Amino acid sequence: MILTVTLNAALDLTYRVPRLRPHTSHRVTHAAERPGGKGINVARVLAALGHDTVVTGFAGGATGELLRRHLADGSDRITDALLPLTGDTRRTVGIVDESTGDSTQLNEPGPDVAPEEWAAFGDAYGRLLRDAKAVALCGSLPPGVPVGAYAQLVRAARAAGVPVLLDTDGEPLRRGIAARPDVVKPNATELAALTGSTEPLRAAHDARRRGAHAVAASLGPDGLLALTPDGAWRAAPPRRLTGNPTGAGDSAVAGLLSGWAEGLSWPDRVARAVALSAATVRAPAAGEFDRATYEGLLPQVKVTPA
Ligand SMILES: O=P(O)(O)OC[C@H]1O[C@](O)(CO)[C@@H](O)[C@H]1O
């Protein structure tokens, strides 16, 4: 199975409004809620691609219970190995402006995690790694989890011989990358903040020097840049697609991981990541992908040496 870790899971709420105007009140035309947080989004896409997928992390309180009930309804085909927590799982709110398609995201910080809850996670994670053929560590850290948590989880995966992908930002990324993950998947802003360079290829070289074996940087509508031990590639969709980009980076992670698990070459992995990202932007619900768009775009993704 493929394991995804979401330490700061969320119940994602999406509100659609005809036009978003700050300082005014809005009538919501459509509201949706679903289990979220980056690793859960990755898992949903992996499962839709036919991979046996397990999610772990934390879920607590009434919101955590609701999130787990959604997972248990089976529609996402994900196995729930989330650990209980005393605190209440956070919510995130995405507001989609129907006049432009743009979305505005509000992410709560998340519940406090006690030292004994974090220690219990370390034990459970070690057990889950025994059956994992790859692991993705995704998203922000909730309060109480040490800032070096991802470095610790990367080291544990490497010690267990399980390939590990890291998708986070800020200090947890800076520390995590030094633990030598197989792949990091920052977006352009996160990569620039890490390295101080806004030129993606130069920044990716810097990220590799900091410890990542491979860097796959998502560049929004411009696609993806991969700098790997096998070579460097840019992958771009055939045209700019408009829509809701929430979860597009998570779909890219699923594309990279599923491609790795199926033994695809790096150029084929990045093509899949870009097609899945673009198909997520086009899907009506945030964090899902439109399969027809994905299948139509995949052969049209242009992969060129970088
Ligand atoms: O963990 P964070 O970085 O706060 O991001 C979480 C949020 O990002 C998303 O995963 C989209 O990438 C949402 O589902 C939402 O839960």
What the block records as the tokens of 136 is 């993705």
What the block records as the tokens of 209 is 């020097």
User: pLDDT tens, position by position, for the chain (306 residues)?
Assistant: 999 999 999 999 999 999 999 999 999 999 999 999 999 999 999 999 999 999 999 999 999 999 999 999 877 789 999 999 999 999 999 999 999 888 899 999 999 999 999 999 999 999 999 999 999 999 999 999 999 999 999 999 999 999 999 999 999 999 999 999 999 999 999 999 999 999 999 999 999 999 999 999 999 989 999 999 999 999 999 988 778 888 999 999 999 999 999 999 999 999 999 999 999 998 866 668 889 999 999 999 999 999
Q: Tell me, letter by letter, the H, E, C secondary structure of 101-160.
A: CCEEEEECCCCCCCHHHHHHHHHHHHHHHCCCCEEEEECCCCCCCCCCHHHHHHHHHHHC
The alpha carbon of 177 and the centre of ligand 1 are apart by a number of angstroms equal to 20
Does residue 156 form part of some domain? yes
Q: Which atom of ligand 1 sits closest to the CA of residue 250?
A: 12
Does residue 126 form part of some domain? yes
The alpha carbon of 230 and the centre of ligand 1 are apart by a number of angstroms equal to 30
* Residue 86, amino acid: T
Does residue 296 form part of some domain? yes
Take atom 12 of ligand 1 and give the residue whose Cα is closest: 247
Does residue 142 form part of some domain? yes
Q: Which atom of ligand 1 sits closest to the CA of residue 139?
A: 1
Q: What pLDDT was estimated at residue 286?
A: 64
Closest of 221, 128, 138, 207 to residue 174, by C-alpha: 207
The alpha carbon of 127 and the centre of ligand 1 are apart by a number of angstroms equal to 26
Q: Are 183 and 134 in contact (CB under 8 A)?
A: no
Does residue 258 form part of some domain? yes
Closest of 279, 284, 282, 285 to residue 301, by C-alpha: 279
User: What CA–CA distance (Å, rounded) separates 100 from 119?
Assistant: 45
Ligand 1 pocket mutation pick from 13, 34, 41 by most atoms within 8 angstroms of CB: 41
How far is residue 264 CA from its own chain's centroid?
A: 20
Instruction: Determine what percent of the chain falls in helix, strand and coil, rounding each to the nearest 5.
Output: 40, 25, 35
What is the value of ipTM here, to two decimals? 0.97
250 part of the active site: yes
Does residue 30 form part of some domain? no
Q: What is the CATH number of the domain that holds 258?
A: 3.40.1190.20
Using a 10 angstrom Cβ sphere, with 0-12 exposed, 13-18 middle and 19 or more buried, the burial of residue 226 is: buried
Domain total in the chain: 1
Ligand 1: residues whose CB is within 6 Å?
Answer: 8, 10, 12, 36-38, 41, 92, 107, 139-140, 246-247, 249-250, 287
The residue annotated as part of the active site, out of 112, 250, 268, 290, is: 250
Ligand 1 pocket mutation pick from 14, 63, 105, 107 by most atoms within 8 angstroms of CB: 107
Does residue 11 form part of some domain? no
Q: What pLDDT was estimated at residue 75?
A: 77
Q: DSSP letters along 265-290, please? A: -HHHHHHHHHHHHHHHHTSSSTT---
Q: Are 7 and 139 in contact (CB under 8 A)?
A: yes
User: What CA–CA distance (Å, rounded) separates 185 from 208?
Assistant: 12
Closest of 34, 233, 212, 245 to residue 137, by C-alpha: 212
Domain membership of residue 73 as a residue range: 2-6+38-81+113-305
Does residue 89 form part of some domain? no
Longest dimension (CA), the chain: 53
Q: What pLDDT was estimated at residue 46?
A: 96
